[in-house]
Amino acid sequence: MLGLISSSSVVLAIVGGIPVTVVLLAAIWVRPRRAKAAWALVSILIVAGLAGGVVAAFAGNGGTPVVSATEAPLPVSSSSAPETTCLPNGTALTETVHNIHFSTTCLAAPAGTAFTIAFDNQDPSLTHNIHIFASDPATHPGAASLFAGDLVTGVATKTYQVGPLPAGTYFFHCDVHSTQMFGVFIVAAG
């Protein structure tokens, strides 16, 4: 589950906070005390604080918003739009993810023909995918979803089977990191 959190500081806080809490509680309860009710209350507050922090970390994904396939992603500035310079070259496409970046921001497939995308997620414990839309859902919230690849937790590979698409210029992104990982998807006569 820690792979769902992309913030290393939050993971460190959880991994370090749990043992510290256990040691603190053990130190409180090992020594005999007269005011056991007060120490019980302190123990409950410590455990509640730890539990609340863990829940907040997973609910908020460590400050990095998680976007599901049905939610609109955050807007992307047009100045960071990828180049549209690729052309179809067969039906076997590849895309590699490393350090929360796609290896290419322009993918191309032949029109009217099914194709595959060999997806290689090289980010340990991070989840990524490829989701193809008719247009950028950040600027066109009603953009049609043309293909949504399964989420892949790294390090792992998956071959996506994509049905035929009509000729056109489309948009793709990672549902989890939609403002960091996106590109142009060109479907043209091959």
Give a yes or no: residue 72 inside a domain.
Answer: no
pTM for the complete prediction? Answer: 0.58
Give a yes or no: residue 40 inside a domain.
Answer: yes
Structure tokens at 151: 């989420």
pLDDT tens for the 190 residues of the chain, in order? 445 555 566 666 677 777 777 777 677 667 766 677 777 777 787 877 777 777 766 654 433 333 333 333 333 333 345 555 799 999 999 999 999 999 999 999 999 999 999 999 999 999 999 999 999 999 999 999 999 999 999 999 999 999 999 999 999 999 999 999 999 999 998 6
Give a yes or no: residue 71 inside a domain.
Answer: no
In a shared domain, residues 115 and 33 = no
